[in-house]
Amino acid sequence: MTFTATGTAGAATQLVLTTPSVGSASNAVFTTQPVVPPASVANGNALGAVTVDGQVDTTVVLVRVASNSGWEAVGGDLRMMVKTETASGSPEPLGGRGVMQVPQGGRIVVAGDGYMPGTTVSVFALPRASARMVGKMMARSMSGAVLIGSAPVSDSGTVSNSFTVPNGMNVGDYVLQINGETLASQLRSMNLQLNVVSASPTMRAGVIREGGFYQGRSAELSDAGKEKLHSIVKAIPRGAQDVAVVIVGVSVALDSVAANLDLARDRAEGIAKYFEDRGVSGTYTVFVSTTFSVDAAERSLDNGPRASGLQKPVESSSGKPLTTASISFDAPM
């Protein structure tokens, strides 16, 4: 079998999984093609391992990087750091048991030394399911592997680069493999468990806002009010996050302050219950408001800070404040 890899150049390339013979001299095919990963990494028993010409290098140890987003292999003349980032450049923390993880569209960052100057270091992602089959069947090729990218080694033997994980890469378990040539012209292959996860969706902010739900002087919903509440619930996008519900109960038509406040409270409670009964989850903030006159001066009374933003009720065309419901949220684009 062969497999197709998508590289940074965008062109499809057929790659053949190879198994280098012990002691063989390195050449271009060994650093630009993936090799059979160690069985301990492919089957998930080990977080990582480094091989030289196919044999595990037991002098190399893995050290967790300070950002908790990857591992550094240290041993002999090798120091190689591998970590992952989100698409915005933030560290992507290690997952369960210390397994590296990266979101679709995220980045894999490598930096280290101990490689042959003038050569190339290549980064691959091999599906662990296929890798386990390779280990059992001793096959020389596998399907589903992805070429993440390649980077040149400097004249001093160092390499440093950041590679973008394709947005369309399948989520799941992989062996992250970094292949390069040692100073002794051997193939060094660093293998780490890697989990590719779904990319976080781009979010947009939104607000749904309506006013005027009740029949006059009562806490009975009008037919138009029922339609408005139904449309609010229906308009909340699927996957909405950070949902905030702000309800302003208003009554201004009754003869006393106490009666207006009682009716405003009942109206606000009715809207809150309507949303809760229909599964609207989020943070609820309720205000009760009325206006009244004392010595010919109109005053305003509510149970919270001076009304502003979503706390300010919607007004009718004549300027009358109305019981208002507002729902703000972040939703996937």
Confidence band for 147, pLDDT divided at 50, 70 and 90: very high
Burial of 200 (0-12, 13-18, 19+ CB in 10 A): middle
Q: How many residues does the chain have?
A: 333
Cα distances (angstroms) measured from residue 109 to each of 164, 178, 215, 235, 288:
9, 11, 63, 41, 54
32 touches 145 (CB < 8 A): no
Q: What is the dihedral of CA 246, 247, 250, 256, to 10 degrees?
A: -100
Residue 312 DSSP class: S
What confidence tens digit (pLDDT) does each residue in 227-257 have?
Answer: 999 999 999 998 899 999 999 999 999 989 9
Distance CA 248, CA 323 (A): 6
Question: Could you give the 3-state DSSP secondary structure of residue 172?
Answer: strand
Residue 143: what pLDDT? 61
Q: Which is more confident, 80 or 24?
A: 80
Q: Of 164, 133, 123, whose CA–CA distance to 34 is shortest?
A: 123
What integer best gives the mean pLDDT of the chain?
Answer: 85
Asked if residues 326 and 310 have their Cβ atoms less than 8 Å apart, the reply is yes
Q: How far apart are CA 42 and CA 134, in angstroms?
A: 9
Answer whether 10's CB lies under 8 Å from 150's CB.
no
Q: Residue 201: helix, strand or coil by DSSP?
A: coil
How many angstroms separate the CA atoms of 324 and 139, rounded? Answer: 68
Q: Which helix (H) or strand (E) holds 262?
A: helix 257-277
Q: How many CB atoms lie within 10 A of CB 135?
A: 17
**Lookup result for tokens 């040539």:** 181
Q: Is 156 left (phi over 0), alpha (psi -120 to 50) or beta?
A: alpha
Residue 93 and residue 205 in contact, taking contact as beta carbons nearer than 8 Å? no
What pLDDT was estimated at residue 191?
Answer: 98
In which element (H, E) is residue 276 found? helix 257-277
Model pLDDT for residues 182-216, shown as the tens digit of each residue: 999 999 999 999 999 998 777 889 999 999 999 99
Average pLDDT over residues 5-27: 40
User: Are the CB atoms for 254 and 214 separated by under 8 Å?
Assistant: no
Q: Which residue has the tokens 């780490």?
A: 192
Measure the CA dihedral 2/149/125/53, to 10°.
80
Model confidence, pTM? 0.59
Mean pLDDT of all residues in 52-61:
96
Q: Give pLDDT, residue 239.
A: 87
Where are the domains positioned within the chain?
3-197, 203-332
Mean per-residue pLDDT, 24-41 = 71
Give the CATH superfamily of 203-332.
OmpA-like domain (3.30.1330.60)
What mean pLDDT do residues 46-75 have? Answer: 96
CA 176, CA 188: separation in Å to the nearest integer? 14
Domain topology for 3-197: Coagulation Factor XIII; Chain A, domain 1 (2.70.50)
Cα 68 off chain centre by: 17
Q: pLDDT tens digits for 274-298?
A: 999 999 999 999 999 887 555 544 4
**C-alpha separations of 316 from 196, 207, 212, 279 in Å:** 53, 19, 8, 29
Band the pLDDT of 22: cuts 50, 70, 90: very low
Residues facing residue 221 across a β-bridge: 214
Residue 217 above 60 pLDDT? yes
